[in-house]
Amino acid sequence: MEKMEQLFAALNEKAEHFVDTQQMSYLEGVLDALDTALAGDYVLPTADATKDDIRKAVQIAVLKGMRKASQPNHQMTPDTLGFLVGYFVEQFYQDSDNVTLLDPALGTGNLVFTIMNMVEKVEATGIEVDELLIHLASATAELLAQPITLYRQDSLEKLLVAPVDAVVCDLPVGYYPNEEVALEYELCATEGMSYAHHLFIEQSMNYVKEGGYAFFLIPATLFESEQAAQLHKYIKSHAWIQAVIQLPDGMFTSRAHEKSLLILQKQHAEMRAPKEVLLAKVPSLQNKNALGLFFEKVKIWQEQK
């Protein structure tokens, strides 16, 4: 049995024990199992395990809990997307000694922890409104010994966060219910309710340094909605589009769930827009030759920027 499987088996057994004896949900059982291990009252088989072994074991347990709960706000960024975002963060900051990172839609932290396990010298901040999810993220961070500061609040309200080098965000898609807060945004809808994913883009640009980058997992139909013209205008005024990466066919169950990767750079008076926007499509992950050509294209584009 692989180390990751051993870790999951142990975590799952303890979580199921709490479910049976404490009459709690499976996700709550996972949290209690993690807290018990961190308190030293229960030993997880972490010896010789990598940080990614630990992250994946926790991820599988959380995914199991999310499937049982069937709550729409309990979703996790898949590893494939996390690794892709991490690759681009690594490319854009390969010459940096330290990178400060913000995820304003943290969830359980799987996207951020995937990146932190890939890219050295990252200090992160995460914002999450859901109490259970942020507690799971906190316990996972402690288990991984990753430096992250967490805030439980509505990410679209004022944040006590210093400007960061980069933002990463798997954008929450839908309407934002707090119309009073939405009125403070340029991307507030002129009629009806505002899109939360538009407001998250604007909020991210508020907290990234001039010249810094934002890496967004966006709905593939982002620029096709009735509020798209307003979003185009905002981006043109505040950011430069660096790249739009289409994800592989067949990765998503339907067109409505398809995502792309959008990379923006916050405008800086002493910098210029890229000579060429990278427009590319990630090939099938099973096609190693095509994947190699894709990464070569990215490398060439990066060198010619």
Residue 240: CB atoms within 10 A of its CB come to: 19
The ranges assigned to domains in the chain are 3-69, 79-304
CA 164 to chain centre: 15
Write out pLDDT tens, residues 144-163. Answer: 999 999 999 999 999 999 99
Secondary structure class of 265 (helix, strand, coil): strand
What are the φ and ψ backbone dihedral angles of 112, each rounded to 5 degrees?
-65, -45
Residue 12 phi, psi dihedral angles, 5° rounding: -65, -45
Report yes or no: 38 and 88 within 8 Å, Cβ to Cβ. no
Q: Mean pLDDT of all residues in the chain?
A: 92
8 A C-beta contact, residue 186 and residue 232? no
Q: How far are the Cα atoms of 75, 129, 187, 261 from residue 232, in angstroms, in the given order?
A: 28, 28, 10, 16
Sign of CA dihedral 129, 133, 139, 145: negative
Residues above pLDDT 70, as percent of the chain: 98
Sign of the alpha-carbon torsion through 23, 28, 31, 35: negative
Among 22-36, 59-73, 93-107, 219-233, where is mean pLDDT lowest?
Answer: 59-73
Q: What is the mean pLDDT of residues 291-303?
A: 90
Structure-token pair, residue 29: 């059982």
Which residue is associated with the tokens 């584009």?
301
The pTM (predicted TM-score) of the whole model is 0.93
Task: Give residue 276's identity as a one-letter amino acid code.
Answer: E
Mean pLDDT of 165-179: 96
Burial bucket for residue 21 (CB in 10 Å: 0-12, 13-18, 19+): exposed
> CATH number of the domain at 3-69, out of 1.10.150.470, 1.10.40.50, 3.40.50.300, 3.40.50.1580?
1.10.150.470
Angstrom distance (rounded) from CA 296 to CA 292: 6
CATH topology for the 79-304 domain: Rossmann fold (3.40.50)
pLDDT value at residue 72: 53
When pLDDT is cut at 50, 70 and 90, the band that residue 74 belongs to is low
Element (H, E) at 29: helix 26-38
- pLDDT over 70 (residue 71): no
Q: What is the pLDDT of residues 240-258, one digit of tens each?
A: 999 999 988 778 777 777 8
Higher pLDDT: 68 or 141? It is: 141
